[in-house]
Amino acid sequence: MNFRYRLMQFMQGRYGVDKTFYVLFFFSAVLAIINTFFRFWVIQLIVYGIVAYALFRCLSRNIDARIKENDFVTKKLFTVTQKYNAFRQQKADTTHIYKKCPKCKAVLRLPRRKGKHTTTCPKCGNVFNVRVYK
């Protein structure tokens, strides 16, 4: 009980654990697993550095800077997960194909009909040909 109270006193006013901590810890674990096969001392130093930085962030009292770092990492993770979910949805959709407009790079969802078709992009109005094989 006394140790728990002292630990709570020590952590008071410190930033603590967030998503960035988990990302850093996961990345260091992956590098450590890779290093078990290759045994490079440089990779081990990088792993130690990442873990030290994650602990530094956890124990830091500069909460504003840690919040900015966490917002940056959270935005990057959101874009990665959003792209992964869109890719997974496109692979699961068997009745449509997804093509990019060559002019504005917007992703168009088109019906899957075999042959050559002319398509108009609703975003920029560009007319282009689409060829569907299956």
pLDDT at 67 over 90: yes
Mean pLDDT of the chain: 91
pLDDT at 28 over 80: yes
The rounded distance, in Å, linking the Cα atoms of 110 and 51 is: 47
What is the dihedral sign for C-alpha 36, 37, 41, 43?
Answer: negative
Instruction: Quote the tokens at residue 110.
Output: 């088109």
pLDDT of the residue at 11: 82
Domain residue ranges in the chain: 2-92, 95-134
pLDDT at 133 over 90: no
pLDDT at 134 over 80: no
Length of the chain: 134
For the stretch 89-115, pLDDT in tens is 888 988 999 999 999 999 999 998 899
Q: Is the pTM of this model over 0.85?
A: no
pLDDT at 8 over 90: no
* Percentage of the chain lying above the pLDDT 70 cut: 99
Buried-state track 27-59, b at ≥16 Cβ within 10 A, e below 16:
ebeeebeebeeeeeeeeeebbeebbeebeebbe
For the stretch 10-25, pLDDT in tens is 888 888 889 999 999 9
